[in-house]
Each structure stands twice: as C-alpha cells, then as structure tokens.
Amino acid sequence: MSTDSVGSSVQGLPENSASQYLTFTLGDEVFAIDIRTVREIIQYGAITAVPLMPEFVRGVINLRGAVVPVIDLQVRFSRAKAVVGKKTCVVIFSSVIDGEKVELGLMVDAVSEVIDIANDKIEPPPQFGTSIQRDFIRGMGKVDGEFVVLIEPDRALSIEEMAMLAEREHAH
C-alpha cells in the first residue's frame, strides 16, 4: 500500500476518486452496495427453505450447481419479512470469509441503477436515528442532495454471526 492513501476518506481511497455502487430499494428506502462485490442480479424465483436457519435466511437457490443462501434484508434489518413483488430480485455478491470466497444472495424489492459516488461525498454512519445496526453501514453517500445508505455486506451478512443467531434462536 502506498503512502498516497494517507488522509483519505473511505477504505484507503483518495478523497477525489469515486466508486460505483448498485442502488436498490427496500420499501421506500434506497440502499447501495459496492458494485465490485456484485456478481449478478437474478429474478426472484424458487427458493428452497432450510430448517434451523435464522429467520433472515430466506433459503437457498441453485445457481449453476452452487448452493447460494438468500438473505431477506428486511428481516436482517429487524423489519417485517419482505413481500415478493414483480420487481423482487436477488443480488448475488461475493464475500471473503476466513480467506474463502463465498457467494450470497440479497433479496431486494427492486434494483435501481449503478451510480458513481465520490469518496468525499460519503459521510460516516450516523450515531443515531437509524433502524439498521451501525456496523451494517459503510457510510451515507450524498447523491443529488439525498442520502443513500451504503451497506457493508461483509459485516451485515457475516456467516459466523448467522450461525450464532441460528444457534441462539433454536436454543430457546
């Protein structure tokens, strides 16, 4: 890592550079995820329920022979279970957990667009006033005078945390 990144804003990137984010909606809120982690977007289809999983794990899908867990972001963010609509999609993204690449699916109400957000337009997560746990949020991107919540998928969707939650839920 070069010394140029000293004094930068987001994850070692220079303040004047921009990153691309895929925006999507949950209810009437707009969220975004770093496009570099997104593998593909598929239409919501057949999902196989898996017993003894946390409530936010909607089930698994078969993606070209690979088993991919699908996360209901509404439930993960402590909200009511998502209602499947015409535009409901699953965003497949890659995450690295314990040095191993893992693919997960995020169930979202609709995918919007890919946008550029300059790193100097990203504010740190708020200290209060959000129904989403702060550690799920990378930051708040300012786009056309509005804020877009930038999701930190590796934290929001940690496999270890999912396993701990499943154990806790089934211990009661």
Residues 120-131: pLDDT tens digits? 999 887 776 554
Locate the domains of the chain by residue range. Answer: 17-171
Q: Would you say domain 17-171 falls under CATH 3.40.1050.10?
A: no
The pTM (predicted TM-score) of the whole model is 0.77
Ordered per-residue pLDDT tens for the chain, 172 residues = 333 333 333 444 455 688 999 999 998 899 999 999 999 999 999 899 999 888 889 999 999 999 999 999 888 888 889 999 999 999 998 877 677 788 899 999 999 999 999 999 998 877 765 545 556 788 899 988 888 999 887 665 555 555 555 555 555 5
C-alpha distance from residue 19 to each of 121, 143, 149 (Å): 11, 13, 14
Q: What pLDDT, on a 0 to 100 scale, did the predictor assign at position 73?
A: 87
Answer yes or no: are the C-beta atoms of 140 and 120 closer than 8 Å.
no
Whole-number Å distance between alpha carbons of 72 and 47: 12
Beta partners for residue 24, in sequence order: 31, 111
